[in-house]
Amino acid sequence: MDSENLQDMFQLNGKKAVVTGAGSGIGKATALALAKQGAELVAVDVNLEAASATVAEITAGGGRGLATGCDVTDKKSVEQAFAAFGSLAILVNCAGISHIGNLANTAEEDFDRVYRVNVKGMYLCMQAALPLLQQNGGGTIINVASIANHVGLVDRFAYSMSKGAVYAMTLSVARDYLKEGIRCNCISPARVHTPFVDGFLAKNNTGKEAEMFEKLSQSQPIGRMAKPDEIAALILYLCSNEASFLTGCDYPIDGGFIHLNS
């Protein structure tokens, strides 16, 4: 392949993309990456100020984007947001929360809260996006799952439940809408260094943040956490025409966590 063709790879010019959870972390990095490659980006977040800050970075770099405040757990909020988007080529579901606890000590209200955001929220966004993708003549959905789909993680009962559901929903949507030109895949990151991680360590490991950060980093065989930009690069590929033969799959991006830990 010559250099001219290489420069044309992973371009999203003329495609409208919605990224949920775009105000921070993986969602923000993904929104920036897709916009850099030419997508008209809609940054969706429950925190409109954070989504607007992401869009400000996009426009400052010469890209196109708009911010929308949306509670993905609320059907009316999701329907109102997506009704304004018109046709759609790409949906990336990054919005999600975590929870620490095992079966015995996970409270019902915490279980329900994780389900509402990580499972119901993704269902509502995919359902609202579906007619827009159909109107577009097809498109792609990327759902952010987790290594918890594949391995048992200590004290992650509700979180693992939710991410297992994400994987199952991905396969179902990929199968049902294959003939309509809609591809649906998910990715399964291991630990990613986001503001959430820093906030968690500050809250739960005061004075020992650096020590715990190193311990968490070393749990990946590669010896560090992923960077949000690295996760965004995989999502960009899966959204691009270069990935047009890929659907109904989960892609671990885990620094060797699943297969190299023993």
Q: How far apart are CA 82 and CA 136, in angstroms?
A: 14
CA 151, 102, 22, 212 dihedral sign is negative
44 φ, ψ (degrees, to nearest 5): -110, 130
> Does the annotation mark 177 as catalytic?
no
Q: Which residue has the tokens 């950060």?
A: 213
- Is residue 222 within 8 A of residue 206, CB to CB? The reply is no
Residue with structure tokens 């020992």?
Answer: 208
Return the sign of the alpha-carbon dihedral for residues 21, 27, 28, 32.
Answer: negative
CA nearest 28: which of 54, 47, 61?
Answer: 54
Answer yes or no: are the C-beta atoms of 251 and 187 closer than 8 Å: yes
Q: Which two tokens stand for residue 219?
A: 């749990």
Strand partners, 41: 17, 65
Backbone angles phi, psi at 61, to 5 degrees: -90, 10
Q: Which of 159, 167, 177, 251 is catalytic?
A: 159
Active site residues per annotation: 159
